[in-house]
Amino acid sequence: MSESASTLAFYLLAAITVVSAVGVVKSHNLVHSALLLALCFIGVSGLYVLLQAEFIAAVQLLIYSGAVAVLLVLGVMLTQRSSMADSNPANDWSRWALLICGLLAVVILSVVAATPWHGSIAAALENSIPVVARALLTDYMVAFETAAVLLLAAMVGAIVLAKGVEEE
């Protein structure tokens, strides 16, 4: 991919991501929010491709855009009885939240700008999947397996919570 094409792709994907994120927050219809969220996730996975992390991009697509977004849509459907119009209202202190979030963005961005990054000049790995796989199954073995246990626990917990315990 040429230099300019990748630059163009970045801005395009970044714009999709940010705008759809804003849409998630600003939309008054919860279903729209959920769909825009999926779009945002897709944009993020595109960014991952640009960063040459293809495996993560695939995982992002599968889990976020696939599972999580669908799960959230399901959640919306199961908890929303009446019409979807105005199903995603904002509360009374959004101005204060806007102020704080804006200032926080200013702080973080100024830190990003002020930090002297010691970037590596090395090119990205041609194929990062073996490296990630080796790291996962050697150095991060314990964490990997713990994550598996966490997933199991979350599954059981979710079932118990959603099903409800027989209350005496």
> Which residue's structure tokens are 């598996």?
148
85 or 119, CB closer to other proteins?
119
> Do the beta carbons of residue 33 and residue 23 sit within 8 Å?
yes
d(CA 88, CA 96): 19
85 or 109, CB closer to other proteins?
109
Least distance from other proteins to the Cβ atom of residue 39, Å: 12
Cα distances from 81 to residues 7, 14, 87, 148, in angstroms, run 45, 35, 10, 35
> Which residue's structure tokens are 């990205």?
124
83 or 110, CB closer to other proteins?
110
| Residue 105 C-alpha from the chain's centroid | 18
Q: Please give the span between the terminal C-alpha atoms of the chain, in angstroms, as a whole number.
A: 65
85 or 161, CB closer to other proteins?
161
Least distance from other proteins to the Cβ atom of residue 168, Å: 16
Least distance from other proteins to the Cβ atom of residue 166, Å: 14
Least distance from other proteins to the Cβ atom of residue 143, Å: 6
Secondary element (H or E) of residue 74: helix 69-79
